[in-house]
């Protein structure tokens, strides 16, 4: 019987849970062309985390996660409001909102939270190496708190995607048709981003807010280079994310560097390999083309 509280198991399990849930939600984000919203949300939740900490004195727990997740949704709302004034393009609106919320978060921590567990470096970089220290006992089993939070978030994400798969798919590829069919793509969009935001809050302990973006964007982007089917894309992205955690952990132990950073970085070689494969395919197709008979050249 492997103890869930043993450091190695806790770290690996948490890393894989973060990766898989991020890649699951990230697939839709990347397909919709909104990848930078992941960056915006993950920076903005610092504001929510700091505020939730100020009000409750805790950074983990369901209330804190939900509260902090609201700040991610707030960021998206602010970005939409700014864009709707038509005085700013959406890229400038994103770039204006999240640094501001992030700055307020950092200053709140600067002012109120000196010498406390919460500091901006932890939020930014995460410390997955310590997740096994903070445990709670559930039904006689000792569980790391962060691992449990991630497992709950993954379950929520998975249920959401399974239940709303059709609406999500339609809202991603053809929002107009989704609207015409009465599927409320806007509502699905916000539900999706709220979950992403909540997952980011649960993950910040482990990998930090910026490294979370890696798991949201890189595995789905890699999968997009390999397949065109949505279900396959999600599966490949989740596999890549799950594989990156142990690879990154091994490298981190070997070089004695940040575990979270190393896990995130481990997704990079997958993207590079997929890119190289794509280029090779294109080059091969180009080489083959002149040999084909003229009649099929139009294809």
Partner 1 sequence: MLTLLTDYTLQNVMLGAALIGVISGVLGAFAVLRRQSLLGDTLSHAALPGVCLGFMVAGAREMTSIMAGALVTGVIAALLMLALVRHTRLKVDAGLAAMLSLGFALGVVLLTWIQRQGGAAQAGLDSFLFGQAAATTRADLYPMLVLVVLALVAVGLLWKPLKLMTFDPTFAAVAGLPVHWLDRILTGMIALAVVTGLQMVGVVLMTAMVIAPGAAARQWCGGLRGMVLLSGAFGAFAGVSGGLISALAPGLSTGPVVVLVATAIALVSLLIAPHRGLLPQWWRRRHRRSHTSTDRILLTLYELAREHGNWRYRVEQGAVDAFYGMLTEPQLTDLHARGLVVPAHHMPDEGPHWQLTDAGVEHAAECARRRSRQRGRLE
| Site residues (vs partner 1, CB under 8 A) | 30, 33-36, 38-39, 43, 82, 85, 87-89, 91-92, 94-96, 99-100, 102-104, 106-107, 110-111, 114, 120-121, 124-125, 208, 210-211, 213-214, 216-218, 221, 224-225, 252, 255-258, 260-262, 264-265, 267-268, 271, 275, 278-279, 282
Kindly report the backbone phi and psi dihedral angles of residue 149, in degrees, each rounded to the nearest multiple of 5, phi listed first. -60, -45
Chain centre to alpha carbon of residue 299: 38
Provide the terminal-to-terminal Cα distance of the chain, rounded to the nearest Å.
58
d(CA 88, CA 34): 17
Q: What's the maximum distance between 2 C-alpha atoms anywhere in the chain?
A: 74
For residue 57, the minimal CB distance to partner 1 (Å) is 20
The minimum distance between CB 297 and partner 1, in angstroms, equals 22
State in angstroms the smallest separation of the CB of 166 from partner 1: 23
Task: Rank residues 40 and 148 by Cβ distance to partner 1 and give the closer one.
Answer: 40
| Minimum gap (Å) between residue 265 Cβ and partner 1 | 4
Instruction: Judge contact between 95 and 80, C-beta under 8 A.
Output: no
Instruction: Calculate the CA 188 to chain-centre distance.
Output: 17
Cβ at position 24, least distance to partner 1 in Å: 16
Phi-psi region of 33 (alpha: psi -120 to 50; beta: other; left: phi over 0): left
- Whose Cβ is closer to partner 1: residue 14's or residue 258's? 258
Q: Which is nearer to partner 1, 81 or 292 (CB)?
A: 81
């Amino acid at each position: 019987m492997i103890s869930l509280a043993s450091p190695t198991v806790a770290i690996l399990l948490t890393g894989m849970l973060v990766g898989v849930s991020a890649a699951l939600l990230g697939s839709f984000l990347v397909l919709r062309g909104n990848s930078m919203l992941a960056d915006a949300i993950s920076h903005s939740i610092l504001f929510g985390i700091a505020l939730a900490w100020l009000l409750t004195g805790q950074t983990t727990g369901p209330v804190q996660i939900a509260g902090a997740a609201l700040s991610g949704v707030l960021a998206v709302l602010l970005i939409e409001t700014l864009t709707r004034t038509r005085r700013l393009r959406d890229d400038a609106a994103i770039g204006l909102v999240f640094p501001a919320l992030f700055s307020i978060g950092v200053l709140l921590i600067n002012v109120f939270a000196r010498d406390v567990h919460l500091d901006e470096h932890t939020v930014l970089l995460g410390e997955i190496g310590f997740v096994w220290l903070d445990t709670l006992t559930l039904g006689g089993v000792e569980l790391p708190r962060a691992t449990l939070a991630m497992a709950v978030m993954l379950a929520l994400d998975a249920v959401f995607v399974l239940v709303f798969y059709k609406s999500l798919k339609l809202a991603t590829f053809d929002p107009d048709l989704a609207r015409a069919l009465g599927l409320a793509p806007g509502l699905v969009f916000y539900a999706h981003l709220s979950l992403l935001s909540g997952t980011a809050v649960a993950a910040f302990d482990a990998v930090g807010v910026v490294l979370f973006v890696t798991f949201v964007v890189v595995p789905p982007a890699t999968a997009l280079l390999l397949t065109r089917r949505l279900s396959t894309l999600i599966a490949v992205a989740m596999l890549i994310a799950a594989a990156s955690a142990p690879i990154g952990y091994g490298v981190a132990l070997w070089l004695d560097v940040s575990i979270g950073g190393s896990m995130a970085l481990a997704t990079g070689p997958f993207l590079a390999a997929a890119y190289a494969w794509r280029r090779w395919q294109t080059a091969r197709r180009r080489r083959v083309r002149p040999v084909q008979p003229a009649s099929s050249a139009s294809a």
